[in-house]
């Protein structure tokens, strides 16, 4: 049953929620021709469901960029040196065969360990959102999963929420490497520019006012206020919480599918089940965000590799 409001109904949009807490497909819209009212309706649906999906959207790279610009400023493809397109430096290639950062190698196997993560949190101003377009999609396998970090926070006990509201964590671009080794060139590119930032463990969403967990196994290093041992236990508990299947949705990709997620309120999981030898190629644009604000009123700041956040 759709939770779509009257304005969206007038536009002919059909919003189909995918799970109890996160994810909705939006039908009845052409992303190449969006009136301002449709942009407003899509943003409203994104804020409610955290990630929205579109089918049958044969976008060119220019049209992909135009769609992103309707919601904010597209960023460079990646703050490290991962491959982007020379004519479209805002678009990051995620490809398991063409040398992109696709989480796979030429046989379809993963190059890096897949862990829940929010995009680019090692920067002091992580992206507001990410828009991923399916270009080459295997006939099966390769689904992506998202989790609602607002629900994950809300479902913690009051005592735990009160404790973590005042904590801060270091995030860095030191990926956990599967089998101890990434493709040599990609590993050098990703680590060529060390990046570290301090973020609140709980951030306040700038548009909804909701509190969300803001840690993830991929990029969070440690909690500033605790010893490494203490912080490790706290982070393990929070990682288990955010990975609860009850807070997640799973998207079955098709060619010309588009996923648009709120990077301030979600984490996602890169698939590792692409069948051996099959090709999966995606293109991603990230949209500029703001300096996160913590539940305690603190603001994120850079440690290494970024401009310090202004007070």
Distance (Å, whole) CA 246 – CA 60: 35
Instruction: Let me know if 284 is a catalytic residue.
Output: yes
Whole-number pLDDT of residue 108: 44
Q: Catalytic residue among 21, 119, 203, 264, which?
A: 119
Q: What band does 83 get if pLDDT is binned at 50, 70 and 90?
A: low
Residue 9 has pLDDT above 60, yes or no: no
Q: Quote the mean pLDDT of the chain.
A: 87
Q: Catalytic residue among 171, 196, 268, 279, which?
A: 268
Instruction: Let me know if 268 is a catalytic residue.
Output: yes
> pLDDT digits over 49-81, tens only?
999 999 999 999 999 999 999 999 999 867 665
Q: Catalytic residue among 43, 64, 117, 203, which?
A: 117
Instruction: Let me know if 199 is a catalytic residue.
Output: no
> pLDDT digits over 177-215, tens only?
433 334 555 555 555 567 899 999 999 999 999 999 999
Q: What band does 176 get if pLDDT is binned at 50, 70 and 90?
A: low
Distance (Å, whole) CA 44 – CA 295: 23
Whole-number pLDDT of residue 147: 98
Distance (Å, whole) CA 30 – CA 34: 7
CATH class of 6-304: alpha beta
Task: Please report which helix (H) or strand (E) contains residue 164, including its range.
Answer: helix 158-164
Q: Average pLDDT, stretch 11-21? A: 93
> pLDDT digits over 280-297, tens only?
999 999 999 999 999 999
The pTM of the whole model exceeds 0.85: yes
- Mention every residue, 6+ apart, whose C-beta is less than 8 A from residue 305: 122, 193, 194, 195, 196
290-293, long-range: CB < 8 A, 24+ apart: 290/125, 290/128, 290/206, 291/124, 291/125, 292/126, 292/199, 292/200, 292/203, 292/214, 292/264, 293/200, 293/203, 293/204, 293/206
Distance (Å, whole) CA 194 – CA 192: 6
């Amino acid at each position: 049953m759709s939770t779509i409001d009257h304005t969206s109904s007038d536009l002919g949009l059909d919003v189909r929620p995918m799970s109890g807490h996160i994810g909705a497909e939006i039908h009845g819209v052409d992303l190449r021709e969006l009136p301002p009212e449709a942009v407003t309706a899509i943003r409203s649906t994104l804020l409610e469901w955290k990630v929205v999906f579109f089918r049958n959207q044969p976008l060119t790279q220019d049209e992909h960029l135009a769609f992103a610009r309707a919601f904010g400023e597209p960023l460079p493809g990646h703050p490290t040196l991962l491959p982007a397109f020379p004519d479209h430096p805002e678009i990051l290639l995620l490809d398991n065969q063409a040398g992109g950062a696709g989480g796979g190698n030429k046989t379809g196997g993963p190059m890096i360990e897949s862990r829940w993560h929010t995009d680019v949190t090692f920067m002091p101003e992580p992206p507001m959102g990410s828009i991923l377009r399916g270009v080459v999609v295997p006939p099966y396998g390769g689904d992506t999963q998202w989790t609602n970090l607002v629900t994950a926070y809300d479902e913690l006990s009051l005592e735990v929420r009160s404790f973590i509201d005042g904590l801060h964590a270091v995030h860095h671009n030191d990926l956990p490497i599967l089998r101890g080794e990434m493709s040599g060139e990609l590993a050098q590119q990703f680590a060529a520019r060390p990046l570290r930032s301090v973020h609140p463990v709980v951030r306040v969403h700038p548009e909804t006012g909701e509190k969300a967990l803001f840690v993830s196994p991929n990029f969070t290093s440690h909690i500033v206020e605790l010893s490494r041992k203490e912080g490790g236990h706290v982070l393990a508990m929070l990682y288990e919480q955010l990975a609860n299947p009850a807070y997640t949705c799973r998207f079955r990709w098709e060619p010309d599918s588009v996923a648009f997620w709120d990077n301030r309120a979600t984490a996602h999981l890169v698939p590792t089940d692409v069948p051996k030898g099959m090709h999966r190629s995606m293109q991603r644009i990230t949209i500029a965000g703001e300096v996160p604000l913590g539940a305690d009123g603190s603001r994120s700041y850079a440690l290494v590799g970024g401009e310090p956040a202004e007070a």
